[in-house]
Chain A
Amino acid sequence: SFATQEEAAAERRRRKRRLRMEPPVNSFNRSQQQQSQIPRPIQNPNIPKLPESVSALVGKRLDLHNHILKLIRENDLEEAALYTRHSVYSNCRPTIFTVNTVLAAQLRQAKYGALLQLHGFINQAGIAPNIITYNLIFQAYLDVRKPEIALEHYKLFIDNAPLNPSIATFRILVKGLVSNDNLEKAMEIKEDMAVKGFVVDPVVYSYLMMGCVKNSDADGVLKLYQELKEKLGGFVDDGVVYGQLMKGYFMKEMEKEAMECYEEAVGENSKVRMSAMAYNYVLEALSENGKFDEALKLFDAVKKEHNPPRHLAVNLGTFNVMVNGYCAGGKFEEAMEVFRQMGDFKCSPDTLSFNNLMNQLCDNELLAEAEKLYGEMEEKNVKPDEYTYGLLMDTCFKEGKIDEGAAYYKTMVESNLRPNLAVYNRLQDQLIKAGKLDDAKSFFDMMVSKLKMDDEAYKFIMRALSEAGRLDEMLKIVDEMLDDDTVRVSEELQEFVKEELRKGGREGDLEKLMEEKERLKAEAKAKELADAEEKKKAQSINIAALIPPKAVEEKKETAKLLWENEAGGVEEADVVEMAKGVEAGGSNGQDPPSC
């Protein structure tokens, strides 16, 4: 019941910004307000703060922003984050824009742990987040496969934040939920978007259709398309949906419709606007459904159409799709050629593109080509990940090149990547099979301090040692296991060791060793206790000198300095650790733990 549209819009916005700014009810109130000398008081300290507006970014704070931008361009993210933190405690507080800049750079480099930590820090420092901050946080949680937490944050944002979401918010959420296999929630977000009065966004629909394709739900794809078409008035002029639509038709074996749809999207006189991603989806639909010739034709046309920077018709994805298409047809040379064309179009491959092609090559026993590509990665400054090394190692083993495979493993560990136990087991298996016990033992020694091994892994190396008659070395492993707090020597393992020892006629050795350990441990404990007692005494004397003796007792207990985890719930910390695990691995960041 508003007189004009403007008033209605203003009211919607104000509802979000209800706190500090009182709505100008009438001019009488207004004139009183303005004449008061004191700034309008904030009535309730608990209401969320408004983010600063652009007008705050002037003077020193602008200089800080530019300095941080420079650091980010130099890729010194740690310093950028630290400087932002330190600036919070100075006469030049960073604006939310500066903070967002750092967060965005951290997200770009998949440094999720650092991102969440900085976000927690600025929250605590009372720097009010704006829409960009929220988007970055949603993206980060979805990237580390924590859609529940992302949705929780979304709910908090909708309920409490004095801001309206942007289209980017919905795109991020829908895409993230789809890639986390939560299509249902993604659909809900879409509905939510309509309720909030946003215009329909074909990109959001294309993500949803992608999700349906992933679930092989052809009807779902068509239904979404119909819905979008209706809402847009009978014609979809954004090309991103057509590729998914074609896939939907192909799935239902409606080839004719699919090709009609193709014609509609890229035919002559088509009014559909095709972006690089739109072409990619169409190319993918064609080449995955036996229309690779058609795809090649389109690829050539697209390459001609590409006119950077005004019109981008190809990107990295285009080449990856074509590479896959060629490989599926067994044309590996052409695939390599297309892959190397990328540079002419100012596209640079990432680790995943390399992995993708190398995977195809290795599957088809073209190890030499794959190794050549591995060499190119270094040239192009693309960092290999665990997958790259694992793939190369396995292929080397397959071709009987045990030493080379082991060398890849070694390089991987040395470049701070973290292969898991399965990869390690494969390596050990091959080494022992090839009779390289010494190498196996040295890899064991290298990994035992890092990797959390299971009983099988221990047994495997112990059996190999005992078979070679090196019982002392076997016992030494047990010795080290007993020393390590993080490992428990299970009954089963003890039995196994005893069995192996019996074979060598040295049954008693294990008991002897374990007794010895027990004794040493007990001694150490006793000593510790004595030390503590001593220290306590010394301390109470100190305190006694300071304060009257009566108070000593209680005070000793209460006061101490704790070095603990920073505030922020257990869950938050958990995610940070997760995220750290992901980023430490040094890969694409899209495949973090799915637990």
Chain B
Amino acid sequence: STSAAANDYHQNPQSGSPSQHQRPYPPQSFDSQNQTNTNQRVPQSPNQWSTQHGGQIPQYGGQNPQHGGQRPPYGGQNPQQGGQMSQYGGHNPQHGGHRPQYGGQRPQYGGPGNNYQNQNVQQSNQSQYYTPQQQQQPQPPRSSNQSPNQMNEVAPPPSVEEVMRLCQRRLYKDAIELLDKGAMPDRECFVLLFESCANLKSLEHSKKVHDHFLQSKFRGDPKLNNMVISMFGECSSITDAKRVFDHMVDKDMDSWHLMMCAYSDNGMGDDALHLFEEMTKHGLKPNEETFLTVFLACATVGGIEEAFLHFDSMKNEHGISPKTEHYLGVLGVLGKCGHLVEAEQYIRDLPFEPTADFWEAMRNYARLHGDIDLEDYMEELMVDVDPSKAVINKIPTPPPKSFKETNMVTSKSRILEFRNLTFYKDEAKEMAAKKGVVYVPDTRFVLHDIDQEAKEQALLYHSERLAIAYGIICTPPRKTLTIIKNLRVCGDCHNFIKIMSKIIGRVLIVRDNKRFHHFKDGKCSCGDYW
């Protein structure tokens, strides 16, 4: 039956192992049958519990002060929710405040069910801090699709195959929804789901899948945990990635690499390099791949000197003979940091004939930094080495105004004898007309009797300005904004919007209670008379 399957599914893979108190998510043994296991574990990890409850201690009379200080990592939690924390089991802290309210079970759910959530409650009851009083804390309402045990009674949970089918059809969101309906993904399915979330770059979905993962029997699987790290990295939630990483008991080299990559991808190269140091301190021997990630990290922080030092230490200290990828990695550090001259020199000084990959990489760095001439030259070199990479439909490069780098006659130019150095009269007039715009607040429109500065302040918060500011930051460039207001627009705002429409290059349509104003290119359709 369904329930039997569920129990089996949630079996703790590591139950009773000595390392349990270090586990990231102290497996709150979700199976009711395995009571002994549960009971064993609680006394095993007293610190953990007291730490989690540290924050609520003041609530109960401020005893046990030494525990209060142990709480900092998850300090963001509202102490009012302390009661919930115990119910969540160990994994709540991993999600800070974002966590959907799974564990917010009330006693009425805690009947003799064999669902893991019910077990949660039982477990919590064993905690000495658990009091009925806490149960009366207001709980956020549960949405219906978050109550799998109710669903289970109505319909059998969707099958794994269905989830996988949806993933393959790229209907990620639907697939993730099926999890809430009680689908029990297997190993492969989790792989697919993690990949999907990484593609989606949606932290919300990632967290959801991760929650289900934590409740599954695969939660100790290092491979899958590695995937979780890179998934959170993709969703640019470094905190989550690092937490998963920190709590992994059996980290392999990939875990370290993925964590470093996650840092680098999010522009935190310093932290990645720090992690590398830590890794060597742990006595782990960096391998070929490690150095690739080190170079990646150096590239995000402009650590050119460091990259070369690491390159040397790779050869000399770790006995790894550099491969093409390593050379490409160092090239990447130079190229991404904008040191293009050095990068080109580096390719030419390579101890072997550079492959097309090098020229292609260099072409991409030139394109990144906008050096068209270098880009074209590198492309020629690339195509020369590997004609299959030829680019079709390329727009020819416009000729530069002058080849003054190479023409050798620059010093002979006598143009001064012939050219007018200042402007012609008509040009000067044109220039004067084109001059820029400055906004000066017009405080006539503030009718309160306050000082000048306060008036200027008051003008800042007129609703149409706030609306425009919001519109600008959440729409693509040059999109027309329509703003509707039920009061007259004030003269200062009118001026402001006129100037704004010119600077931001958009048409702004603002309706006040009299008319529509179409602002375009620094002018308004009302002709300043309204």
The residue of chain A having its C-beta at the shortest distance from the C-beta of B380 within the complex is A309
Q: How far is the CB of B116 from chain A (nearest CB, A)?
A: 27
The answer on a CB contact under 8 Å between A591 and B435 is no
Residues of chain A within 8 A (CB-CB) of B444 are 543, 546-547, 555, 559
Q: How far is the CA of A324 from the CA of B437 in the complex (A)?
A: 51
A interface size (C-beta, 8 A): 132
Check if A462 is an interface residue, CB within 8 A of chain B.
no
Q: Which residue of A lies closest to B201 (CB)?
A: A59
Docked Cα-Cα span, A13 to B415, in Å, equals 45
- In this assembly, does A250 line the interface, its C-beta being within 8 Å of a C-beta of chain B? no
Q: Does A87 contact B (CB under 8 A)?
A: yes
- A226 interface hit (Cβ, 8 Å): no
Question: Which partner residue on chain B sits nearest A576 by CB separation?
Answer: B431
A593 to B309, CA, bound (A): 47
Asked whether B299 lies within 8 Å of A102 as measured between CB atoms, the reply is no
- Do A588 and B477 touch (CB < 8 A)? no
Contact partners of A280 in chain B: CB under 8 A:
406, 408
For residue B104, CB closer than 8 A to chain A, the reply is no
Q: Does B39 contact A (CB under 8 A)?
A: no
Which residues 1-44 of A have a CB within 8 angstroms of B? 5-6, 9-10, 12-14, 16-17, 21, 23-24, 27, 30, 32, 34-37
Which of B45-53, B187-195, B335-343 is near enough to bind chain A?
B335-343
A34-B242, A86-B477, A564-B438 known; A166 vs B370 contact (CB < 8 Å): no
Closest beta carbon of chain B to A26's beta carbon, Å: 10
Residue of A nearest to B300 (CB): A53
Partner of B410 from the list A352, A450, A592 (CB cut-off 8 Å) is A352
Question: Given that A6-B310, A89-B472, A564-B436 are known contacts, is A418 also in contact with B406, CB under 8 Å in the complex?
Answer: no
Contact B473 A91 (CB under 8 A): yes
Interchain CB contact under 8 A, B401 and A90: no
Nearest CB of chain B from residue A212's CB, rounded to whole Å: 14
Which chain B positions have C-beta within 8 A of A420?
Answer: 418-421
Rounded to whole angstroms, the CA-CA distance of A321 and B302 in the bound complex is 41
1/0 per residue, CB under 8 A from B, across A52-71: the answer is 11111100100001000110
Q: How large is the interface on B (under 10, 10 to 19, 20 to 34, 35 or more residues)?
A: 35 or more
- B70 close to chain A: CB less than 8 A: no
How many Å lie between the Cα of A70 and that of B191 in the bound state? Answer: 39
0/1 per residue, B395-431, Cβ < 8 Å to A?
Answer: 1111111111011111111111111111111110001
Chain A's closest residue to B276 (CB) is A6
Question: Taking CB as reference atom, which chain B residue is nearest A111?
Answer: B401
Which residues of chain A are near B416, meaning CB under 8 Å?
Answer: 591, 593-594
Q: Is B301's beta carbon under 8 Å from chain A?
A: yes
Tell me if A430 is interfacial: C-beta within 8 Å of chain B: no
CA of A72 to CA of B239 in the docked complex: distance in angstroms? 40
B301→A577 contact, CB < 8 A: no
A544 nearest CB across to chain B (Å): 11
Interface residues of B in 308-322 (CB under 8 A from A): 309-310, 313
If A60-B476, A85-B505 are given as contacts, then 11 extra A-B residue pairs at C-beta distance below 8 Å, sorted by A number, are: A65-B368, A85-B503, A89-B506, A92-B477, A280-B408, A316-B406, A350-B404, A386-B415, A450-B427, A561-B440, A561-B495
Binding site for B on A (CB under 8 A): 5-6, 9-10, 12-14, 16-17, 21, 23-24, 27, 30, 32, 34-37, 52-57, 60, 65, 69-70, 72-75, 82-83, 85-87, 89-92, 97-98, 100-105, 108-110, 130-132, 163-164, 166-168, 171, 179, 214, 276-277, 280, 284, 308-310, 315-318, 320-321, 324, 348, 350-353, 355-356, 381, 385-387, 389-391, 417-423, 449-452, 486, 543, 546-547, 555, 558-567, 577, 580-581, 584-585, 587-595
What are 17 A-B contacts defined by CB distance under 8 Å? A13-B301, A17-B270, A36-B75, A89-B477, A97-B369, A108-B400, A167-B342, A310-B384, A315-B403, A381-B399, A386-B415, A418-B420, A419-B419, A420-B420, A561-B495, A580-B431, A593-B416
